[in-house]
Amino acid sequence: MEENLKWLWYAFGTAWVLHVLYLGSLLIRTKKLEQQLQNLKALIEENDRKT
Amino acid sequence: MVAYSAQRNAETVSLVGVVCTAAMLTAALYLIFVWAPNELTMGVVQRIFYFHVPSAFTAFLAFTIGGIASIQYLHRRENRYDSLSVACNEVGLVFAVVNLLTGMLWAKPVWGVYWAWDARLTTMLLLALIYGGYLILRSSIDDDNRRAICCAVVSIFGMVDIPIVYMANRWWRTQHPQPVMFDSAGGLDVNMRVVLYCTFVAMCALLWVMVRSRSRLEDLRRESDALRREVYAR
């Protein structure tokens, strides 16, 4: 019974760790892209002001 | 003003969606660990079934939507279909990997081995590899249009493998048990069937949240690429 319970927790843990890691990676990638977009927009505005 | 209002509405829908998904997943966990009856032969380890099987069907659903979006992209050449396709295929791959890993962790105490090269397991692994290849292909082509067209073809090719995976344990003799979902002859207890379907609905909600976030990421990437091109063009 306890031996089987161990496998249940391994499977359950694996499933949720994978989902949480993927959601975390989505959040990090989104934040990075938002930052890049802000930097690019600022660069374009600066170029516009210079010209 | 209209754009701002639409963005606020989208954010509210997202927030409500995330809260509902969290509630559904919590309810599913309660059903799996408290409400579902113990299976007589395998005992408590059989509860892996409640996230192993819905993960597979959620992956199938995601890949099918991704494939249909790819067909739409090839037909209409609108970027939103490409965004939907990549979002569904990437999230579908996460669910497929969860299905494969939970299956291995269930097989070890029940079959005595983590893996058996039977038709169901092999076709599912092949499906995951096709979508792994899809993501590698996606990151290796720079041109937006070429990338979208090549990936749409692979996505449609991957979608064709889904019925083969589903039918594998009917067409060939396999170590994997016979289908129980969407099959009246599955011999599954009514309470177990209720838990299975509830978990499937909760996972579909999780799929929706993930696909929305991934589609948004793809739109941001496209916007960022366009701005970068504008900067270099000056």
Q: Does position B183 have pLDDT exceeding 80, yes or no? A: no
Residues of chain B with C-beta less than 8 angstroms from the C-beta of A40: 224, 227-228, 231
Q: Is the dihedral of CA B12, B211, B85, A41 positive or negative?
A: positive
Residue B195 contacts residue B35 (beta carbons within 8 Å): yes
Which of the four pLDDT bands, split at 50, 70 and 90, describes residue A2? low
User: Is B91's Cβ below 8 Å from some Cβ in A?
Assistant: yes
Long-range contacts of B222-231 (CB under 8 A, 24+ apart): B222/B79, B222/B83, B222/B144, B223/A37, B224/A33, B224/A36, B224/A37, B224/A40, B225/B144, B227/A37, B227/A40, B227/A41, B227/A44, B228/A40, B230/A44, B231/A40, B231/A43, B231/A44, B231/A47
B-chain residue closest to A43, CA distance = B231
Distance CA B191, CA B162 (A): 28
Which residue of A21, A25, A26, A35 to mutate against B (max B Cβ within 10 Å)?
A: A26
- The pair of structure tokens assigned to A16 is 């949720």
**Which chain B residues contact residue A18 at CB under 8 A?**
94, 97-98, 101
What band does B228 get if pLDDT is binned at 50, 70 and 90? confident
- Cβ atoms of A19 and B213 closer than 8 Å: no
Give how far the C-alpha of residue A39 lies from the chain's centroid of Cα atoms, to the nearest Å. Answer: 20
Q: For residue B108, which of B17, B45, B168, B53 has the smallest C-alpha distance?
A: B45
Shortest Cα distance from B99 to chain A (angstroms)? 8
Q: What is the pTM of this model?
A: 0.91
Read off the pLDDT of residues B48-82 as tens digits, 9 standing for 90 and up. 999 999 999 999 999 999 999 999 999 999 999 99
- Under 8 Å between Cβ of B195 and B36: yes
* Residue B105: C-alpha distances to residues A10, A17, A27, B60, B95 (Å): 7, 14, 29, 21, 15
Q: What is the pLDDT of residue B128?
A: 97
Tokens 């930052």 map to which residue? A35
Confidence of residue B169 (pLDDT cuts 50, 70, 90): confident
Are A14 and B98 inside 8 Å of each other by CB? Answer: yes
Question: B232 or B101, which is more confident?
Answer: B101
Query: Alpha-carbon torsion A51, B3, B7, B10, what sign?
Result: negative
Nearest 5°: phi and psi at B143? -70, 125
Residue B187 reports pLDDT greater than 80? no
- B44 and A4 in contact by Cβ < 8 A? yes
Residues 1-51 of A with CB under 8 A from B: 1, 3-5, 7-8, 10-12, 14-15, 18-19, 22-23, 26-27, 29-30, 33-34, 36-37, 40-41, 43-44, 47
Q: How many CB atoms lie within 10 A of CB B146?
A: 10
Helices (H), B77-118: 79-111
- Residue type, position A29, single letter: R
**Closest chain B C-alpha to A24 CA, distance in angstroms:** 11
pLDDT per residue as tens digits for the range A10-45 = 999 999 999 999 999 999 999 999 999 999 989 888
Chain A residue with CA closest to B106: the answer is A7
Report residue B233's pLDDT band, with 50, 70 and 90 as the boundaries: confident
| Chain B environment of A26 (Cβ under 8 Å) | 210, 213-214, 217
**pLDDT for A51:** 74
pLDDT at B211: 96
CA distance B44 to chain A (A): 6
pLDDT exceeds cutoff 60 at B185: no
